[in-house]
Amino acid sequence: MKIGCVGYSYPEWVGTFYPRHASQEEFLEMYGKVFDLLEIDSSFYRIPTPEMTREWKKLVPEGFTFSAKFPKLVTHEREFRQAKEPLDRFLRAMDPLRPKAKVLLVQLAPSYTMIRGEEELFEFLRNLPKDFRYAVEFRHGSWFNDTVYEELRKLEVAMVWSEVMYTEPPPVLTTDFVYLRFIGDRSLKKLGWVQINRTPEMKKWLAHLRAAEDKVNRAYVFFNNHFAGYGPACVDTFRGLAGLPPVDFKAIHAPGAGQKRIVDF
């Protein structure tokens, strides 16, 4: 099981996670000294260039794993129709991240129902290159049925497990890995510290993970700031509940990328 955050470039983390003197250009390298898993959130809003992703790969150590969200231009605005150009740009940008980029995430809009988009979505998934693994996060309850599960199993695509405001996804397995997102809602406006006790939700999903551990090869677990207010602390809490060593926040002062890490999760 790997556990990390959704995004890393948050000014609210300066002083609590990143040192006060840290610049934004240093954030990713510092993040990679503490965590070994990251979901790139910025790709949802703006497609990165291959030069950017090539640099990201250099900044993190061996054993680090990236995931990235498909751009909303593809998933939300064009809803998979006439989206070849932005899709090709996104996939070209992801290519330099291999083999560190293990899974790419398709996040659907809450308004995107099965009736509205079943044909487009599965056609899109069928035509994706086999270089990456994929996960789909449904945010409308119409998708949670056996027809969808079976189609995802044929395609070897994971249905995302998530704690999110829009719906309650069931802990159904559709492939050999779990992709679990703790997202919460947008009610928290000031971030950078834990403001809500989310232990019950963490325990619920941890029980689902344990029930599935003999059926999957890997679990990727991500925490968004909006889940409780502060992603890094949520990772630490979840590790404790899972019986894993605590997050070594002091590792952020370890030697830079390419040098031996003090802590290996």
Nearest Cα neighbor of 26 from 262, 257, 210, 265 is 257
Assigned domain for 174 exists: yes
pLDDT tens figures, 2-25: 999 999 999 999 999 999 999 999
**Alpha carbon distance 111, 26 (integer Å):** 37
pLDDT tens figures, 149-180: 999 999 999 999 999 998 999 999 999 999 99
The CA radius of gyration of the chain, in Å to the nearest whole number, is 18
**Alpha carbon distance 88, 1 (integer Å):** 31
pTM of the model: 0.94
What H or E segment, with its residue span, contains residue 152? helix 146-155
- CATH at residue 98: 3.20.20.410
Assigned domain for 263 exists: no
Packing angle, helices 146-155 and 114-126, rounded to 10: 10
Quote the domain boundaries for residue 246.
2-253
Measured over the CA atoms of residue 140, residue 141, residue 142 and residue 143, the dihedral's sign is positive
Tally of domains in the chain: 1
pLDDT tens figures, 216-257: 999 999 999 999 999 999 999 999 999 999 999 999 987 664
